[in-house]
Amino acid sequence: MNQHLNANDLTTVVENDKAHIWHHLSQHAPYEKIDPRIIVEGKGMRVWDQHGKEHIDAVSGGVWTVNVGYGRESIANAVRDQLIKLNYFAQTAGSIPGSMFAEKLLQKMPGLSRVYYANSGSEANEKVFKMVRQISEKKYGGKKNKILFRDRDYHGTTITCLSASGQPQRASQYGPFTPGFVQVPHCLEYRSQFEDSENYGEQVVKATEEVILREGPDTIGLMCLEPVTAGGGVITPPDGYWEGIQNLCKKYDILLHIDEVVCGVGRTGTWFGYQHFGVKPDFVTMAKGVASGYAAISCAVTTEEVFDMFKDNSDDPLNYFRDISTFGGCTAGPAAALENINIIENEDLLSNTVEMGHYAIDQLSELQDKHAVIGQVRGKGLFLGAELVKDRSTREPMDEKMVAAVTANCMSQGVIIGMTNRSLPGLNNTLCLSPALIATKDDIDEIISSMDVALSEVFE
């Protein structure tokens, strides 16, 4: 700590923050009147702010990241030991933790065999988009370069990832965008696009096929989807959906990319979200939970079949993936990720995630019985959403401001929950929970009872 500060006085930190920091995803006008929150310390499921106030964190660092919880000394030690040995060398060469983590990771991903390191979810997704564009050039004479993405999904913050944004409020005002990205329908039955929702999953697949046929299958190289849509409202796909999507990809020779930036490495109770649905992806990207935020790391993982396409003619100077991520060579990422995955195994956190996920959804359902404002609860593992409505029969979405009042009320009680945030016009109405995979029943009870109080105070 800065020697000019008293242990309990972070006034200077707050002043500096107000003067110099441009916070992510934040409207700054309110900070002219109130102080920004500074998170000072974390342990397990809990964090403390500049006032020493304790919070239980039901969103793993705000954005579903700190999967193994705060204050893990074994990860800190693994990173420290590695940094002293070798902090960095470009990934044109290999590293011990890079090699060891890839091997460990791929044990959890049968059918996939190559890991490309980068350092953010957006960047990993961009790698896949670039690979697909290069495959289009190499294999199809420039055809099959279009990339399909889904309404309500999000794939990152760069201009090209925003070109694949199914969340208009994230993309708005940042165009012009990269050409060649085409939207397919969302799969949230609660907000069905069809008059009759019977066999909803199959209907969405059919509507997706219509987009493929409209565009021309010979123009489409990739379908990029979240396994469970995260920021677009915690959308668990309906029965029949994934099977149908896999069949479409096979039928029209479209590579399948699953964006596991949120769901990857345990969040939904399996190592990867797609593993709930028997899907065989050609690409998987991951970031947030890979090292639980102890170091920046993301991975784009693919098959040997895709990898081989980039080395078939070694005399051609352009016949390889001419891409680098400078910080993809930082060794802290895979060192932290290796220890992170060891923790999940040693503490059996996947089983805990399944068990606590069931418990949490039951508790949310009880809350729904009590509060008419909860239209639907949904989720998988410790990744849960409660969609708020003005009227259950019409499903008219609750105003974003009222939903924000619920999260603010929980915050004042010392419980940090999330909500869909400036993503979908008129539909930023889902409360989100994604506690660390170490959550206990007591933790869940504390979170749910604060939501109970907040819903009563805001709506009754």
Ligand X SMILES: Cc1ncc(COP(=O)(O)O)c(C=O)c1O
328-358 residues labelled b (16+ CB within 10 A) or e (exposed) = bbbbbbbbbbbbbbebbeeeebbebbbbbbe
Q: How far apart are CA 421 and CA 340, in angstroms?
A: 28
Query: Among residues 235 and 373, whose Cβ is nearest to ligand X?
Result: 235
Q: Record the tokens describing residue 136, joined without a space.
A: 């289009």
Min dist CB 153 to ligand X, Å, is 7
Min dist CB 347 to ligand X, Å, is 25
List, in sequence order, every beta strand (DSSP E) within 215-297. Answer: 220-225, 255-259, 283-286
Min dist CB 257 to ligand X, Å, is 11
Min dist CB 3 to ligand X, Å, is 34
Min dist CB 81 to ligand X, Å, is 26
Query: Among residues 258 and 360, whose Cβ is nearest to ligand X?
Result: 258
Min dist CB 293 to ligand X, Å, is 10
Query: Among residues 109 and 455, whose Cβ is nearest to ligand X?
Result: 109
Annotate 384-448 with DSSP letters as a single string: EEEEEEEETTTTEEPPHHHHHHHHHHHHHTTEE-EE--SSSTT---EEEE---TT--HHHHHHHH
| 3-state secondary structure (DSSP) of residue 348 | coil
Backbone torsion region of residue 273, taken as left when φ is above 0, otherwise alpha when ψ lies between -120 and 50, otherwise beta: alpha
Min dist CB 456 to ligand X, Å, is 31
Q: How far apart are CA 343 and CA 337, in angstroms?
A: 10
Min dist CB 285 to ligand X, Å, is 7
CA angle 428, 429, 434 (to 5 degrees): 95
Q: How far apart are CA 122 and CA 63, in angstroms?
A: 14
Closest-by-Cβ residue to ligand X is: 121
Query: Among residues 230 and 447, whose Cβ is nearest to ligand X?
Result: 230
Min dist CB 122 to ligand X, Å, is 3
75: CB partners within 8 A, 6+ apart: 68, 291, 292, 294, 336, 339, 340, 343
Query: Among residues 121 and 185, whose Cβ is nearest to ligand X?
Result: 121
Min dist CB 24 to ligand X, Å, is 9
Query: Among residues 45 and 262, whose Cβ is nearest to ligand X?
Result: 262
Min dist CB 327 to ligand X, Å, is 12
Query: Among residues 120 and 450, whose Cβ is nearest to ligand X?
Result: 120
Min dist CB 245 to ligand X, Å, is 16
Point out which residues bind ligand X (CB under 6 A): 63, 120-122, 125, 154-157, 226, 230-231, 259, 261-262, 287
Query: Among residues 68 and 235, whose Cβ is nearest to ligand X?
Result: 235
How many CA atoms lie less than 13 Å away from 412 in the CB half-sphere? Answer: 9
Query: Among residues 144 and 186, whose Cβ is nearest to ligand X?
Result: 186
Partners of 430 in beta bridges: 387
Query: Among residues 264 and 413, whose Cβ is nearest to ligand X?
Result: 264
Residue type for position 366: E
Q: Please give the C-alpha separations between residue 149 and each of 184, 230, 300, 428, in angstroms, as whole numbers.
A: 6, 14, 17, 20
Enclosing H/E stretch for 242: helix 241-251
CA angle 306, 318, 175 (to 5 degrees): 80
Q: Record the tokens describing residue 4, joined without a space.
A: 């000019």
Q: What are phi and psi of 184, to 5 degrees?
A: -115, 165
Query: Among residues 97 and 227, whose Cβ is nearest to ligand X?
Result: 227
Q: How far apart are CA 432 and CA 414, in angstroms?
A: 16
Query: Among residues 226 and 339, whose Cβ is nearest to ligand X?
Result: 226
385: CB partners within 8 A, 6+ apart: 233, 234, 235, 377, 378, 379, 430, 431, 432, 433
